[in-house]
Chain A
């Protein structure tokens, strides 16, 4: 039985089922990146944009905008990936045919 055939000038073939999951994971990465960019830029702009030095308040020795948009945001976003991975990423064999290599140290 062939896994590939031609119909209406469109090639139909058996697709690797793992790619759908991989595509979703790539989308998570993009979404995360957008969120990180928006939060960092937004917070910095909202708290610090076009404020002269004497208008700035300081937290722990850093300008407030810096403290929140750089320090706090980086810490928060540094732990988010672990959560995304646990909830939405799947452990899949990476071998050519998708079958796991048997054995504990099987390289996949």
Chain B
């Protein structure tokens, strides 16, 4: 057991738990809007926490473990397609943007499915999206834990189950009890670790080896194609551009990222985060990824890429330094998973349970239930990570792309186009998702040589437009809610109240109106 590595990691876990305790105590002091506090931190984030919680949640094992592994096996082309995530802070926050942030306050939206429920008012849309979110995010969390645990096992010597249960239990505890604030603050700490990790890994590796010269000589011997395009990854221009669609433009609708678009306190905060974020993400993304080829000097001939860079770091660096550096991938994983747990919990409690089972669920009970459901979700993920079932592989492949195909058109087009209706949304979701699955599984030709998300999204968009023109337009109330001033909304609510015989709707009952 390599204690010099274990100790920094244990310290890091300790800090996470401390943040959880602090956030839990903050929660206890809040007596109003407890659900918004639990799931959104009360919409109070300043730019510093916002930028790090967004980017840390976005960058995960893929950026720090899987990605370098792909670079090791397939060359610089993999770095090329990964940089499309660099402008996330700007693109994601600006595309959903201020309209989304304002609407979330007007309509008390806490999850992305809340948005879909109010906009389309149709159970099919709500249920398909909610179930999709739950399934895909749970599926995505499992390989995060598995991949991270495998790396830690190899570098610390501690056994797999102990490691898995320890660090997933820490995530579960601080997330379930501390809620969004614990999530966001821990993300900030984790994001800084990821940023420093990205910077430091370049410095220490390159100085230990003496620059890229020796690396390039080795790679030229091993497989010079790693330097080329299209390279072993097959990166043609249209394939490259389709990665940009998935990692750049469509990223914003992933629920754990979209929720951040509702969580900042004012426009100054979001402006600053948008301005600063891309530079931070550039370092985080390029840091570990670009060093993937270095591993050929120390561990050539590995069949599975994931272990290449971690083992190299162990070889090249003193244990203490390596231990601190390993906190970065661990941080990347935990910061993504904590956001996803909360999203899944929110969807289950608000968009499934409260909407269809118990509409009079009080704010306080909702927050309490949220804690329990978060813990439950964490436990299920741990169970699946201990013994991953075979079919999980399928869900994982589809997780990010599938969610984007499902959600992008209904959310983004629905946000900006009045004609968009439930029929369009339902067709877009089912048609786009089916096309995506078929293109992935059985008919690769449907993807036209790109990442399947490209053609699937085009299909989704076409179906959305079709359905929106053929089906009935959205109700007047929806148009006023989503395009109207607060005065117009208030007036509309008053009119509908008069129509109901003068009974003022309670806040909960108003939400009960919409299915």
Determine the residue in chain A with the shortest Cβ distance to B239.
Answer: A41
Given contacts A3-B491, A77-B278, contact A33 B87 (CB under 8 A): yes
A29 pairs with B105, CB closer than 8 A: no
Answer yes or no: B76 CB below 8 A from chain A CBs: yes
How would you classify the secondary structure of chain A's contact residues: helix, strand, loop or mixed?
Answer: helix
Interface residues of B in 62-96 (CB under 8 A from A): 76, 79-80, 83-84, 86-87, 89-91, 94-96
Segment 91-150 of B: residues with Cβ below 8 Å from A: 91, 94-99, 101-102, 105-106
Known A-B contacts A25-B94, A66-B80; the reply to A61 vs B211 at CB < 8 A is yes
Chain B residues in 8 Å Cβ range of A40: 80, 83-84, 240, 244
B212→A62 contact, CB < 8 A = yes
Which residues of chain B in 161-184 are interfacial with respect to chain A, using CB atoms and an 8 Å cutoff? none
Q: Is the CB of B227 within 8 A of A53?
A: yes
Within 8 A of B (CB), among A80-108: 81-82, 84-85, 89-98, 107-108
Among candidates A61, A65, A85, A107, residue contacting B266 with C-beta atoms closer than 8 Å: A107
CB pair B488 A74 closer than 8 Å = no
**B514 beta carbon closer than 8 Å to chain A:** no
Given contacts A50-B229, A50-B230, A96-B105, contact A14 B487 (CB under 8 A): yes
Q: A4-B488, A107-B43 are in contact. Are A29 and B94 (CB under 8 A)?
A: yes
B84 contacts which of A36, A61, A82, A90 (Cβ < 8 Å)? Answer: A36
Interchain CB contact under 8 A, A89 and B271: yes
CA A24 to CA B278, docked complex, whole Å: 20
Determine if A60 and B105 form an interchain contact, defined as CB atoms under 8 angstroms apart: no
CB contact between B102 and one of A14, A58, A94 (< 8 Å): that residue: A94
- Chain A residues 28 to 86 lying within 8 A of chain B, measured CB to CB, are 28-30, 32-33, 36-37, 40-42, 44-45, 48-54, 56, 58, 60-63, 65-66, 69-71, 73-75, 77-79, 81-82, 84-85
User: Which B residues are in CB contact (< 8 Å) with A48?
Assistant: 228-229
The residue that A91 contacts in the complex, of B215, B271, B276, B492, with Cβ under 8 A, is B271
Q: In the complex the two chains form, what is the Cα distance from A62 to B71 in whole Å?
A: 14
Rounded to whole angstroms, the CA-CA distance of A79 and B476 in the bound complex is 42
Seen from chain B, the residues whose Cβ lies within 8 Å of a Cβ on chain A are 43-44, 76, 79-80, 83-84, 86-87, 89-91, 94-99, 101-102, 105-106, 211-213, 215-216, 220, 224-225, 227-230, 237, 240-241, 244, 248-249, 265-268, 271, 274-279, 281-282, 286, 416, 476, 479-480, 483-488, 491-492
Subset of 28 A-B contacts with CB under 8 Å: A3-B487, A13-B479, A14-B487, A15-B484, A16-B102, A22-B102, A23-B416, A29-B91, A33-B248, A37-B248, A40-B84, A41-B241, A42-B237, A45-B240, A49-B237, A56-B227, A60-B212, A65-B229, A66-B76, A78-B282, A85-B271, A85-B274, A89-B274, A93-B267, A94-B267, A95-B105, A107-B266, A108-B266
